[in-house]
Amino acid sequence: MRAGRLVLLSEVDDGGLAAAISRSLREVYGLDVEARMVRLEGAERFYNRGRGQYDAAGLISLVSPARDRLFLILTWRDIYVAGLNYVFGYAPGGVGIVSTSRLDQRLYTGEYDPHLYIERSVKEAVHEVGHLLGLSHCPDPLCVMHFSNSIEDTDRKSSRPCTRCMLKI
């Protein structure tokens, strides 16, 4: 079932990123997307000093879900969930989160590639919103709903759900 509205709460002030994500979510899922720049108040209490990361579930808890819309947080913070070293995103309910921290090519090669950064961010946003719409992980490595265990997995997959996944929405 398609939800009508999604609010993109962005902590990332990166020229054009929120617009690119909003456009893709409209095209792929037919959502009415409203983008807002925010600062996640209270985020520091979910920082784990030992890991140098933020608890994704904790950050999500800072946003109250609503019946008439979905929320996606876009953050620069490196995030994790219990049992995993890191995640690119997490979406357990009506609120999801995408971290751009490990999507930046500078982490891997030292060189900034704005096109690749936006492409990766869009893929992860489309993936997490797919979860918010009820999709689970897909076995097709080219489907955006395939689990990304590494940045190479993200780079390999498409920015759209496969036909099988789209039929489930």
> Where in the sequence numbering do the catalytic residues fall?
128
* Rounded distance between C-alpha atoms, residue 104 and residue 94, angstroms: 26
Residues 6 or more apart whose CB falls under 8 angstroms from that of 25 comprise 6, 8, 31, 33, 72, 125, 126, 129
CA distances in angstroms from 166 to 78, 82, 94, 131, listed in the order given: 30, 29, 19, 12
Neighbours of 147 (CB within 10 A): 14
- Asked if residues 57 and 43 have their Cβ atoms less than 8 Å apart, the reply is no
